[in-house]
Structure 1
């Protein structure tokens, strides 16, 4: 859920903390509690904000389905995302004729990025994707190998990138596949809530490269999805959270915004998360449209196709060291069926 290297861990911790506090704060006003019964497990209460996701490994074999009738799609997950986090999306795509192959990343694979934060390149904002994101590249290699095993080495694939997985996909396609293979093997690239753009140059946060050079390198060397044609790239952005016009508007109607029992959500805390995320990404916190983490303007590339989805949020899950926590079904995201139907034609 966090974006890039410097903002990698702080933003994730901020978002997760607020979302987890949402459970604790809201339950403090309700008769039922959500007691902790283990290091990574929560006892289920009714009603509860979250339902835990299963973490069993996903099998790429599909019983009773002829793979010839399903088009392969390789998924670059969001930061700390795992295969099981996208199980519902896999089923949704399968029903629509696609076979999803998430890059087989483990939650703690992301710790392999830590050594890069101790280098000269980190402090001079000159990190390179191939060195910093090698663990992600290796996982994508394995996903391609599985596709080749199931379909043969010449089949075309679509690449789907969620959150920062979108710009990891861009760098992998360019650096690992290369121009000739990319144009031959990759049919399309679709990104979901990916922070493609740096803050505007006239913003007060533009001086700090929060990805420590990664995104700058990608945009300078692989603009608009190069080596793919821009027409093969689709950027999907969500408008699930519009921040208030002014600071005092945050606490307007405080009681109503604190908790909506019907939606099982807190608009107040969703706005706080959005304010904290939109500002470092765009230099603007208030009166900004986005998916709750990524502003719309940051998620689209100028020369590529854009799909803007109303009432669409960043993710349906919050990663934890154990099992991911599922957000309420009312918290629609890019993988919700109604949202999928707005971008699936571009796979």
Structure 2
């Protein structure tokens, strides 16, 4: 029986943006729930602050799915920042929350597969550097051997200092230090892949569900990675 699947929205995204993806996954036989985030839930975290409030909502959604489906494990699909947030959730090291409080989820035994879509697993951006350093220093690469890591990148826009490619160039440079490279328009391929994971690259997909055209969760792109949920 397919495991319940949880979608974790990307930075500043709300659950509503993933309705089509959730419906497509359900149609493919995977019962799917999106962490019920609203865009304003992200506002207190702007500037590189702790993402513990987001992980608390993720944890609540996972517990709910396990109970509703009488399951012992779930699959996670993290879009953009939702991918590295999921890696914190898997972990067994105390994560600084607010003030002197620390949070610990140690959820890796409850997760069968983690699929990340356009996730910047490395970044030089100052507002995400602290969190990503915590992730990569404590849980480098595909850290937990009992979890299947699948990292999906997009090869769509080559970053250049010219009209139509400037945003990609700037975003890639801030993320991996090189602007002249391929990516999904926001995340460069080199940052979206993870050492030791099953790394995929899909041509023609854009970063966000709000982008015009095809994104990671569109039917044309979904067929490239949905099999990894089985």
How high is the TM-score relative to the length of structure 2?
0.87
After superposition, the Cα gap between the structure-2 partners of 1:100 and 1:279, relative to the gap in structure 1 and judged at 3 Å, is: same
Kindly tell me the number of residue pairs found equivalent between the two proteins: 218
Instruction: Return the offset for 1:71.
Output: 2.9
What stretches of structure 2 of length at least 5 have no aligned partner? 93-103
How high is the TM-score relative to the length of structure 1?
0.59
After superposition, the Cα gap between the structure-2 partners of 1:230 and 1:209, relative to the gap in structure 1 and judged at 3 Å, is: farther
Instruction: Return the offset for 1:231.
Output: 6.6
Instruction: Return the offset for 1:212.
Output: 4.1
Detail structure 1 runs of 4+ shifted over 3 Å in the superposition. none
2:184 and 2:207 in contact (8 A); partners too = yes
Instruction: Return the offset for 1:158.
Output: 0.5
1:75 and 1:160 in contact (8 A); partners too = yes
- CA shift digits 1:40-83 (9 cap, x unpaired): xxxxxxxxxxxxxxxxxxxxxxxxxxxxx653111111012112
Distance in structure 2 (CA, Å) of the matches to 1:100 and 1:92: 9
2:144 is the counterpart of 1:236: no
2:142 and 2:196 in contact (8 A); partners too = no
- SS of the residue corresponding to residue 217 of structure 2 reads coil
Distance in structure 2 (CA, Å) of the matches to 1:214 and 1:305: 23
What stretches of structure 1 of length at least 5 have no aligned partner? 1-68, 200-207, 252-267, 318-326
Where relative contact order (Cα < 8 A, 6+ residues apart) is larger, the structure is 1
- CA shift digits 1:174-227 (9 cap, x unpaired): 14442xx522x211111000000235xxxxxxxx7442411011101011243x
Which structure shows the bigger proportion of residues in strand conformation? 2
2:3 and 2:31 in contact (8 A); partners too = yes
After superposition, the Cα gap between the structure-2 partners of 1:306 and 1:144, relative to the gap in structure 1 and judged at 3 Å, is: same
Which residue of the partner structure matches residue 198 of structure 1? Answer: 123
After superposition, the Cα gap between the structure-2 partners of 1:230 and 1:224, relative to the gap in structure 1 and judged at 3 Å, is: farther
- SS of the residue corresponding to residue 294 of structure 1 reads coil
User: Which of the pair has more CA radius of gyration?
Assistant: 1
